[in-house]
């Protein structure tokens, strides 16, 4: 089990929570027909967010994969056209939430706390 968070393209998603959740469940079927470990498939904002976050939480897979996959900060990212889903170790959950949210604001992408029952869905201003 992991601690899961997600960033998203705010222009691609509905803002009402119920509609957002429907969109989220469709996205997480991972049916876009490409590899989900390379940020080349997503928007510039999401790619920039990814390149920034992997400085603190290295990627488990893909072209930016960490050399030490057993490090607690190594994160499994699943990258779609409009989303990047991140699976963190529970030992870094608090730090992951804070840094991921901060970098979402910096790069003007949306943020979703997947692991919380009614998790935050935040849009950039």
Interaxial angle between packed helices 44-53 and 93-107, expressed in degrees from 0 to 180 and rounded to the nearest 10: 140
7: tokens are 């960033």
Question: What residues make up the domain containing 42?
Answer: 3-27+35-122
DSSP-derived letter for residue 38 is -
Q: Which of 88, 84, 110 lies closest to 30, judged by CA?
A: 84
Please count the structural domains in the chain.
1
Q: Which of 12, 8, 42 is nearest to 122 (CA)?
A: 8
Q: In the prediction, which pLDDT does 69 show? A: 86
pLDDT tens-place values along the chain, 125 residues long: 799 999 999 999 999 999 999 999 999 999 999 999 999 999 999 999 999 999 999 999 999 999 988 899 999 999 999 999 999 999 999 999 999 999 999 999 999 999 999 999 999 97
């Amino acid at each position: 089990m992991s601690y899961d968070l997600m960033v998203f393209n705010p222009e691609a998603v509905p803002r009402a929570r119920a509609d957002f959740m429907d969109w989220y469940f469709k996205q997480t079927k991972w049916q876009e027909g490409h590899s989900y470990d390379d940020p080349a498939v997503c928007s510039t904002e999401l790619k920039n967010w990814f390149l920034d976050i992997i400085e603190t939480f290295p990627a488990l897979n893909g072209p930016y994969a960490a050399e030490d996959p057993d490090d607690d900060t190594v994160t499994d990212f699943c990258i779609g056209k409009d989303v990047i889903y991140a699976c963190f170790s529970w030992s870094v959950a608090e730090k992951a939430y804070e840094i991921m949210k901060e970098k979402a604001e910096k790069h003007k992408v949306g943020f979703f706390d997947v692991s919380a029952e009614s998790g935050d869905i935040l849009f950039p201003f």
